[in-house]
Amino acid sequence: MSPELQRLVELYITLSVCTGLGWLVGPYVGPKLLDRVGQWLFWVGMPLSVLGFVLNVQLTLDVWWAGWVALLAFWGAWGLGELWLRWRGAHWSLPQRGSFLLTAMAGNTGYVGYPVCLFLVGPSYFGWAVVFDLMNTLAGSYGLGVWLAAKLGGRRAKPWLALVRNPMLWAALLALALYQVSRPAWLNVSLKTIAWSMVVVCLVLMGVRLRQVRHWGKLKSVAASLGIKMLVIPLLVGLLLQGFGVPAPVRLTLVLQAGMPPALATLVLTEAYGLEPSFTVSAIGLGLGLLLVTLPLWLALFGGGIG
């Protein structure tokens, strides 16, 4: 077994173990506790995760172009999602529409995208993956995503107030402000450890939700959401970057990030704003499986020149 394939297997074993743990404890987790965990992740856990990741990577000037690609991918997915809803989802409830849009737009560019990019492209281009994730998180999942979740969710919230109160926004700004500040090594290590521990908490939460789903309805609509997120958008991003002559390692890194399955953040927002949990969990779970198919595809189409 090649080292790359071995790392991929280890990644999916980790995902399976964490979600499996959530599946096992699911029957013993009440709705009130589940709600509190979702709220805690939104207000505390995920902001700490942003600090941990941003403060532990090298950010050079050129990698900030990855942020523009992230914006293009996110807003393009939003536009395609709105068009699909006008065509097939006009009769849906607002929470269902919100879950469809979030899962079509927000990719798991951190918890899955980071390790995938590291072993397929290498650490030399990891800064591009981090900036893509930062912009995807700040302006996407916890920017436009929060606005949409507050607007369409079952819990009444003013969209613009939700943006201002968004803890991820302030965590990202704090991380950028502290980036050039000298910090003790133990602090960086502690923040990085906390950041990765949030991976486990989110995956366990997803496993709990998977166990508690009573029906997997609207699978055709989930497939449409995943088609936008994991096929159409990364293909368009790859063709655009290839047309501009972007080097293969950078191109592949950005295509991989654009094609990640729906983010665990969509589950956090679903819990926090009262969207449709069964739709969100279905998209996340099926998206992780679809990733096994799409990774070889992107390597074949846009990985030319990777040594």
Domain-located, residue 257: yes
Contact between 296 and 136 (Cβ < 8 Å): no
The whole-number pLDDT of residue 24 equals 93
pLDDT score, position 307:
53
Which DSSP string do the residues of 179-224 spell out, in sequence order? TTS---HHHHHHHHHHHHHHHHHHHHHHHHHHHH------HHHHHH
Q: Does some domain include residue 23?
A: yes
Handedness of CA 234, 236, 240, 242 (dihedral sign): positive
* CB atoms closer than 10 angstroms to residue 130: 23
Q: At what angle do helices 65-88 and 219-227 cross, to 10 degrees?
A: 150
Return the exposure string of 67-96: e unless at least 16 CB atoms fall within 10 Å of the residue's CB, then b: bebbbbbbebbbebbeebbeeebeebeebb
Domain count, the chain: 1
pLDDT at 246: 93
* pLDDT tens-place string over residues 82-108: 999 998 888 888 999 999 999 999 998
Residue 245 lies in a domain: yes
Domain that holds residue 159: 3-302
pLDDT of residue 84: 94
Residue 160: predicted pLDDT: 65
What pLDDT is stored for residue 100 in this prediction?
95
The pLDDT score that the predictor gives to residue 161 is: 66
Q: How is residue 57 annotated by DSSP?
A: S
C-alpha to C-alpha distance for 10 and 13, rounded to whole angstroms: 5
Is residue 307 included in any domain, yes or no?
no
Predicted local distance difference test score (pLDDT) of residue 215: 63
**Positions of the chain with pLDDT under 70:** 1-8, 11, 154-163, 213-217, 305-307
CB 110 within 8 A of CB 195: no
86 within domain boundaries: yes
pLDDT at residue 216 in the model: 64
pLDDT at residue number 244: 93
- With respect to residue 293, please indicate whether it lies within any of the assigned structural domains: yes
**Buried b vs exposed e over 132-151: b needs ≥16 C-beta within 10 Å?**
bbbbbbbbbbbbbbbbbbbb
- Are residues 206 and 267 in contact, defined by beta-carbon separation less than 8 angstroms? yes
> Domain containing 84 — which CATH number?
1.20.1530.20
